[in-house]
């Protein structure tokens, strides 16, 4: 069975990506990151998502991106915005997907997996530069120059099945494949119990997606959040 490494954050997009990877017949190896994120409760969601999908293995990588900071998600002195803003928002985490993909790349090489799945999206997204098609194309090119698998083996391919889908289309794909969105966490600023704030970018995009898809929103919100 062909193998794929799948980045699983615990959010809606990566849960759908994992389901799509399984549908393509891959034996899936999930990888999640405890990087000091404000919304650490997403890691419990990632564990549940990976377990329900029946992955072969789920690896949790720990790293300290707080020591770099520079993002509302990794520096507690920067608040998560509650209103949309122009340009790349402060919830952008410097170089995050480059760091994550590099761990996924290393693991893929060790496993002999030829494919890495990442649920980046360039339609209903927050404008992060490391979610754009040009970035993924460049990363894939680099990956094949940087690894033994790329230079002497059959190469590494990065699949981004969501990249051109709207949030509503992503949700429709997930519903078709039986993804349990109630167990996913998207909010950047959840409370101690993991309940969503209903106001951050991630909450807004997610709620609008369920509405546009005509699917009841299963998100667990804080009291008075919406």
CB of 197 to Zn ion, least distance (A): 3
CB of 189 to Zn ion, least distance (A): 5
Instruction: Closer to Zn ion by CB, 21 or 80: give it.
Output: 80
Question: Residue 192 burial by CB count (10 A; 0-12/13-18/19+): exposed, middle or buried?
Answer: exposed
Residues in 86-115 that interact with Zn ion by CB under 5 A: none
CA distance 219 to 195: 8
CB of 120 to Zn ion, least distance (A): 20
Residues in 16-55 that interact with Zn ion by CB under 5 A: none
Using an 8 Å Cβ cutoff, are 201 and 89 in contact?
yes
CA distance 103 to 100: 5
Instruction: Closer to Zn ion by CB, 170 or 196: give it.
Output: 196
Instruction: Closer to Zn ion by CB, 12 or 203: give it.
Output: 203
Strands 157-159 and 57-62: unpaired
CA distance 187 to 181: 13
Instruction: Closer to Zn ion by CB, 73 or 197: give it.
Output: 197
Residues in 176-205 that interact with Zn ion by CB under 5 A: 187, 196-197, 200, 203
Crossing angle between the packed helical segments 133-146 and 96-111, to the nearest 10 degrees: 40
Instruction: Closer to Zn ion by CB, 117 or 188: give it.
Output: 188
CB of 192 to Zn ion, least distance (A): 14
Interface residue list for Zn ion (CB under 5 A): 187, 196-197, 200, 203
């Amino acid at each position: 069975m062909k193998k794929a490494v799948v980045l699983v954050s615990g959010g809606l997009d990566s849960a759908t990506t994992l389901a799509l990877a399984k549908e393509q017949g891959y034996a899936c190896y999930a990888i999640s990151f405890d990087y000091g994120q404000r919304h650490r409760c997403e890691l419990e969601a990632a564990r549940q998502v990976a377990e329900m999908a029946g992955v072969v293995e789920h690896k949790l990588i720990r790293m300290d991106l707080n020591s770099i900071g520079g993002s509302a998600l990794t520096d507690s002195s920067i608040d998560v915005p509650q209103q949309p803003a122009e340009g790349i928002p402060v919830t952008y985490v410097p170089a995050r997907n480059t760091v994550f993909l590099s761990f996924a790349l290393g693991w893929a090489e060790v496993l002999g997996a030829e494919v890495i799945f990442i649920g980046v999206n360039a339609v209903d997204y927050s404008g992060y530069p490391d979610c754009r098609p040009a970035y993924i194309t460049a990363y894939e090119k680099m990956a094949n120059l940087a690894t033994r698998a790329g230079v002497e083996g059959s190469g590494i391919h990065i699949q981004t099945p969501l990249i051109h889908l709207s949030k509503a289309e992503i949700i429709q794909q997930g519903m078709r494949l039986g993804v349990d969105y109630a167990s996913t966490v998207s909010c950047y600023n959840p409370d101690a119990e993991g309940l969503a704030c209903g106001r951050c970018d991630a909450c807004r995009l997610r709620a609008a997606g369920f509405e546009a898809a005509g699917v009841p929103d299963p998100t667990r919100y804080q009291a008075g959040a919406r």
